[in-house]
Amino acid sequence: MKKIYIGTNWKMMMTTEEGVDYTKKVMELEEFLHDHIQLFVIPSYTSLASIHEVLKDSSILMGAQNMHWEEKGAFTGEISPRMLKETGVNVVELGHSERRQYFNEKDEDINKKVKAALHYAMTPLVCVGENWEEKESGLSVGTLRKQIETCLNGLSAEQVKNVWIAYEPVWAIGEKGKPASADYVADIHQEIRSILVQLFGTQAYDIPLLFGGSVNTENFLGYLRKDQVDGLFIGRAAWELASFEAILKEVNRLN
């Protein structure tokens, strides 16, 4: 049975108190999930220690939303891989479109962060995705190829097995996002897989490919039913516990 990854990035939404409460409720839901469903939550930095404490006997993984690549140094306001590791972080989300758009994060920076995360035995969750203009100009696959080549540059085939990728088309994310069709997502995931196999060989079949962007209670099953989709990376529909619960219950029924 294929492993299914379901996770949520909280962005800058929850306080520690809210996050702890949310996590406890998700843990109650998780008890009823099959073992092949891997949940993960990605709180704000300020909540990581408290959420780690809540999750200590759980198989839910905890991620961070960003990270600097240096181990330490004079980088005011930044958080290093060593600090995240110490806090109990398992997964580091890198290159979300909001980081690229508002904080000018480049594929070259993401590449350094991917290597730093791997060095500290944390899983880099690398977000890639084209914007609307690129999609409409037929440049989706070319954009993704460039992002993947640069973000994963210099990794060995052995290392790449420890990377997760989230395909998150910029035009599908957030309040103004348009949900992508399941067929479109399956085609793009197929393209991403073949780019990865060209770059890293058959080890690239081990990389989980998650989809994110306006995933909701209406459309999530369509994505998950596609063989090319290994999981979902959910924003708004996961922050609402009722809709997250509805999604998880259905996912649990899938074979």
Nearer to ligand PGA, 193 or 236 (CB): 236
Q: Minimal distance in Å, beta carbon 236 to ligand PGA?
A: 4
Q: Minimal distance in Å, beta carbon 102 to ligand PGA?
A: 12
Q: Minimal distance in Å, beta carbon 173 to ligand PGA?
A: 4
Alpha helices in the chain (DSSP H): 16-30, 48-55, 81-87, 97-102, 107-119, 132-136, 140-151, 157-160, 182-200, 220-224, 236-239, 241-253
Whole-angstrom distance, CA of residue 96 vs CA of residue 192: 17
Nearer to ligand PGA, 5 or 233 (CB): 233
In which residue are the tokens 């398992």 written? 90
Nearer to ligand PGA, 5 or 120 (CB): 5
Closest CA to 167 of 231, 251, 90, 113: 231
Nearer to ligand PGA, 131 or 159 (CB): 131
- Residue 68 appears among annotated catalytic residues: no
Q: Do 144 and 192 contact (CB within 8 A), yes or no?
A: yes
- Residue 168 appears among annotated catalytic residues: yes
Q: Do 223 and 232 contact (CB within 8 A), yes or no?
A: yes
Q: List the catalytic residue out of 96, 98, 105, 189.
A: 96
In which residue are the tokens 């596609």 written? 226
Binding site for ligand PGA (CB under 6 A): 9, 168, 173-174, 177, 212-215, 233-237
Q: Minimal distance in Å, beta carbon 210 to ligand PGA?
A: 9
* Residues labelled as active-site residues: 96, 168
